[in-house]
Amino acid sequence: MSIFKGAGIAIVTPMNDNLEVNYDKLEEIIEMQIAGGTDCIVIAGTTGEGSTLTIEEHKQVIKAAVEFTKKRIPVVAGTGSNCTQTAIELSQDAQNAGVDGVLVVTPYYNKATQGGLIKHYSMIADAIKVPIIMYNVPSRTGCNIQPQTAATLFHTKENIVGMKDATGNIEQGVHTMSLTDGKLEMYSGNDDQVIPLMSVGGLGVISVLSNVAPKYVHDMCISYLEGDTKKAMEMQLKAYPLIKQLFCEVNPIPVKAAMNFMGMNVGPLRMPLTQLEKEHEEGLKAAMREFGLKLA
């Protein structure tokens, strides 16, 4: 049984002005997401600035998300690291906190070989019982899980169940699904390629766009799963201009700016991420208005 189908939100981590995590706001956002139909909370990932959370903050943010969600929808925790032992410890901590799964990004900077990736993910899988979604985003990590590697891990480790594919390479996604007989739980990691990946067996998306349009992304995914492919395709295309603006700078800079433009008050970003450049503000706001979002 899959962890979730539909729209999982790659949720931001709201901050106070002093850059401490704003837990009250996190609870508020989670409530808004659940009310909007989001199918899964994905906490402490790239969009959640997981790389600049301390180990203790990482644990606490995940624990808080589980507590705030109250088992109404699944919670998946980002627990990847470029150190295998750290990834194991973060995954074990998340499991102890009660998550429904973990999202494990490939080791970054180290540039592990394919054999190294198999050992890395296998060691994590052997150390925990909860399901693992591999996260493949070579543009950020410099490391690419090749289709045969993904298939080997899927076939040899029972709790390695899925892939967040942010390669931008549809052919690679098709190849991976082919080698796993369409049974790998595939989620798009790119909001502009959700329906293309669902067309080859993907179950949905781990979405940045959901931070500002949860019901829309949920409805798009469910429309496809329920067979209304025309509606899903039209929704994918309509969202493209806004998606493009949400990635006009490195994620999560634009999406946090967008949420603040909407009056959500999710606060600043931690260094080395900086606020959205002035030259991009009007383009983002214009795309938001055109999409139908209300600015504060």
pLDDT given at position 223: 98
Residues 6+ apart with CB under 8 A from 42: 8, 9, 10, 11, 48, 75, 76, 77, 78, 103, 206
| Tokens 């993907």 belong to residue | 202
Residues 97 and 63 sit within 8 Å (Cβ to Cβ): yes
Residues of the chain with pLDDT > 70, as a percent, come to 100
- Express each pLDDT in 116-140 by its tens digit: 999 999 999 999 999 999 999 999 9
CATH number at residue 127: 3.20.20.70
pLDDT at position 173: 97
Encoded tokens for 116: 């190294």
Q: Considering the domain boundaries, does residue 147 fall inside one?
A: yes
Distance (Å, whole) CA 266 – CA 108: 27
246 pLDDT tier (thresholds 50, 70, 90) = very high
Inside any domain, residue 1: no
In a domain, 150, yes or no: yes
**For residue 222, is it within any domain?**
yes
Per-residue pLDDT band for 72 (boundaries 50, 70, 90) equals very high
Interval 70-74 mean pLDDT: 98
User: Looking at residue 228, what is its pLDDT?
Assistant: 98
Q: What is the pLDDT of residue 16?
A: 98
How many folded domains does the chain comprise? 1
Q: In this structure, which amino acid lies at residue 228?
A: D
Which residues belong to the annotated binding site for pyruvate?
Answer: 47, 206
Positions marked active-site? 135, 164
Residue position matching structure tokens 């504060």: 296
In a domain, 158, yes or no: yes
Alpha-carbon distance of 137 to 202, in angstroms, equals: 17
Q: What pLDDT, on the 0 to 100 scale, is given for residue 175?
A: 98
Tokens of 157: 């480790």
H-run or E-run covering 124: helix 114-127
Q: Which of 197, 198, 203 is nearest to 162 (CA)?
A: 203
| Burial class, 242, CB count within 10 angstroms (exposed 0-12 / middle 13-18 / buried 19+) | buried
257 falls within a domain: no
27-52: average pLDDT: 98
Q: pLDDT tens across 75-101, in order?
A: 999 999 999 999 999 999 999 999 999
pLDDT over 90 at 1, yes or no? no
Q: How far is Cα 79 from Cα 95, in angstroms, rounded to an integer?
A: 10
The answer to whether residue 248 sits within a structural domain is: no
Binding-site residue numbers are: 47, 206
What is the radius of gyration, based on Cα positions, of the chain?
Answer: 18
| Residue 293: pLDDT over 80 | yes
Give the domain range for residue 74: 6-229
In sequence order, the 6+-apart residues with CB closer than 8 A to the CB of 61 are 13, 21, 26, 43, 44, 48, 53
Res. 53: pLDDT tops 90: yes
pTM of the model: 0.97
Residue 121 belongs to some domain of the structure: yes
Residue 260, pLDDT score: 98
